[in-house]
Amino acid sequence: MSKTKKDPKVELINEIIQLSKIRDEYWSYHPANPHSVDVNVEIPKIDKAIEELQKKIENINKPPTRMFHN
């Protein structure tokens, strides 16, 4: 197995990128952001989407029902 030495400059740049992404995410909720996310509105939307996906998963796990035509 060959070990590759990590470039310290690349590591520092990657850390800056990671921190910038976190900062951008925080800005989405910051009160000074004129376009901030209103969590009181968005959380119920996310909860509804989660419930719908959970129902779809439940339906996938159910055995198919037979339909008979008379």
Q: Does residue 68 form part of some domain?
A: no
- d(CA 15, CA 49) in angstroms, rounded, equals 33
Instruction: Flag whether 67 is in a domain.
Output: no
Specify the residue for token string 């992404």.
Answer: 21
> Could you read off the pLDDT of 26-68 as tens digits, one per residue?
999 999 999 999 999 999 999 999 999 999 999 987 777 776 7
Classify residue 26: in a domain, yes or no.
yes
- What is the rounded (10 degree) CA torsion for 35, 26, 51, 57? 120
> In total, how many domains does the chain have?
1
Q: Which domain holds residue 43?
A: 8-61
Look at residue 1 and tell me if it is in a domain. Answer: no
Length of the chain, please?
Answer: 70
> What per-residue confidence (pLDDT) applies to 14?
98
pLDDT of 13 above 90: yes
Record the pTM. Answer: 0.57
- What pLDDT score was predicted for residue 63? 75
**How wide is the angle at C-alpha 41 spanned by C-alphas 39 and 47, nearest 5°?**
85
